[in-house]
Amino acid sequence: MNTLSNATVLVVGAGIMGAGIAQVAAQAGHRVLLFDLRDGAAVEARRKLAATLDGLVTKGKLAADVAQGALARIEPIAALAEAAGAGLVVEAIVERLDAKRSLFRELEGIVDARAVLATNTSSISVTAIANGLTHPERLVGMHFFNPVPLMKLVEVVSGLATAPAVAEAIFELSRAWGKVPVHAKSTPGFIVNRIARPYYAEALALLLEQAAEPQVLDACLKGAGFRMGPCELMDLIGHDTNFSVTSSVYEANFFDKRYAPSLLQRELVDGGLLGRKSGRGFYRYPDGAPALPVAVHGAPDTAHAVAVHGDGPVADWLEQAAGAALAAQGWGPARERGSGWVGLSVDGARLVLTDGRPAYRLAADLGTPDVAVFDRPLGRAPGGALAYAVAEGASDLWRAQAPAWLAALGVAPLPLADTPGLIVARTVAMLINEAADAVLQGVCTPDGADAAMKLGVNYPAGPFEWLAGWDVPGVVAVLQALDAVYRGERYRVSPWLARRT
Ligand code: NAD
């Protein structure tokens, strides 16, 4: 395979993505030909790119001569026939299989037989796009993220016919363009759009059963280190776009219930509540999420016996945080490692780290009514929001004391309905499960999944990094607890995890 480092690049489609790809390729030193079916669109895109590059120069992010050089290398063309010399085609046209197929068939008659054909499709099978080509082995997915100049990730997607050398050449080229490429197999949603589904789906499921307000779910996931909560993120993406991605992954998986969209999404779309762009989604704009109710928690009542139960990082954190909370009284918590649960006992009451079991179930299993569960304190920021739920039969005293203890431990407790795995443990367990299935199916490697989720959707860590800080039995326990309550296919455990328990 010829190296693509000096190739003339033909970008087809001069919309949001095509313009970004043209900019990145030109800045990397390529001659770029830009074509769009709509008259004048390529010229207009170049004019906008000139303004973008000028802006970068004004901000001191790009030298003037570098910007001028990049712009000079971008040439709008009026007909595809002018691109005979292109060594690489990157297609970023409308997201329709028939349009992409016929474009590539036409291009095969124009460009050299050795030219590489890349598609920026975000949801169509690369295998299907290549079907009917004379040389399907040279077609590969080169999936950029929006905005292209800023987002580092490129999913290099191989279809059934893609030659490994072609995928490798695009991988290397993406690197040369300053991107972080990750190999992916052509399956619905590729890596990011597939693994990210539960981030929205679990929040939507909790909203549907009125477990919490959107701003509470958002605050809890931000408390776990996510840059945006799922509800504000869906409002930003647009519920129409997000619903359509969800629906296409669902359909492409032969209506596997695991990927079923939410009724709530459809209601929002049907009602035109598309999020920021329509002025209203979960929140009203420009205001955004309403402020959380202010809850003031006094210091917990003096207890006779406080003990930290269990092992692992959360138990260690509890020991240190409860120690700090009790220091003023001149004593610290006892440590009981063999209890079979992680958390705090305060006299007869229990504050338990969720293992998936709802508080009512834990109360029955532990034989005491005064039980509260708290969420997994992932990427714990001091004062960050943390969900908790109190068992239905708990005393009024423990209802007040459980959040007072959480506040004393240094987190901002937010009440949720008594659901399995609350919000963070539930969401993260599902993200890990989806990533595990993707690896099982050879879609990507664990490292690829981690890089893709951190760079493609800005997750604070990758699913396998979360798994390393948790443990397989713990993740499986949360999934099984969810399955025990909801049944159906959604929470089935990936065989990749099951065989590691
Ligand atoms: P867009 O609507 O902004 O641009 C598409 C451009 O392609 C338009 O200018 C249109 O005139 C042109 N076009 C349509 N059919 C054509 C054809 N047959 N030949 C030449 N030009 C044609 O769309 P976009 O957001 O830039 O998306 C383009 C592709 O990139 C799609 O496949 C999309 O799924 C994918 N993608 C989009 C994003 C995103 O966030 N927008 C992210 C990743 C991938």
Mean pLDDT of 249-266: 96
**236 CB within 6 A, ligand 1:** no
pLDDT tens digit string along 305-339? 999 999 999 999 999 999 998 988 888 899 999 99
Of residues 91, 108, 120, 122, which has the active-site annotation? 122
Distance CA 358, CA 395 (A): 17
Measured in angstroms, how far is the CA atom of residue 95 from the centroid of ligand 1? 6
Supply the pTM of this predicted model.
Answer: 0.95
Is 118 in a helix, a strand, or coil? strand
**245 CB within 6 A, ligand 1:** no
- Nearest Cα to Cα of residue 454 among 231, 234, 226, 221: 226
Measured in angstroms, how far is the CA atom of residue 12 from the centroid of ligand 1? 9
Distance CA 281, CA 261 (A): 17
Residue 143 falls in the annotated catalytic set: yes
Tell me the CB-side half-sphere exposure of residue 147, using CA atoms within 13 A. Answer: 6
- For the domain bounded by 306-415, which CATH number is listed? 3.30.750
pLDDT tens digit string along 220-252? 999 999 999 999 999 999 999 999 999 999 999
> Does the pLDDT value for residue 211 go beyond 60?
yes
Measured in angstroms, how far is the CA atom of residue 100 from the centroid of ligand 1? 10
Task: Evaluate whether 9-186 and 306-415 have a shared fold.
Answer: no
pLDDT tens digit string along 145-166? 999 999 999 999 999 999 999 9
User: Is-contact 392 189, C-beta < 8 A?
Assistant: no
CATH fold for the domain made of 9-186: Rossmann fold (3.40.50)
Measured in angstroms, how far is the CA atom of residue 91 from the centroid of ligand 1? 8
HEC profile of 131-146: CCCCCHHHEEEEEECC
Distance CA 340, CA 350 (A): 13
The pLDDT of residue 382 is 63
Tell me the CB-side half-sphere exposure of residue 430, using CA atoms within 13 A. Answer: 26
Lateral strand order in the sheet of 385-390: 334-336, 306-309, 343-346, 349-353, 371-374, 385-390, 412-415
Is 179 in a helix, a strand, or coil? coil
- Which of 91, 94, 146, 190 has most ligand 1 atoms within 8 Å of its beta carbon, as the pocket-test mutant? 94
Give the torsion through C-alpha atoms of 223, 225, 227, 228, to 10 deg. -40
- Which of 90, 91, 97, 122 has most ligand 1 atoms within 8 Å of its beta carbon, as the pocket-test mutant? 122
Residue 122 falls in the annotated catalytic set: yes
> Does the pLDDT value for residue 2 go beyond 90?
no
**107 CB within 6 A, ligand 1:** no
Question: For the chain, what are the domain ranges?
Answer: 9-186, 306-415
Beta carbons within 8 Å of 400's beta carbon, 6+ residues apart: none
Of residues 193, 345, 433, 494, which has the active-site annotation? 193
**155 CB within 6 A, ligand 1:** no
Measured in angstroms, how far is the CA atom of residue 36 from the centroid of ligand 1? 10
Is 107 in a helix, a strand, or coil? helix
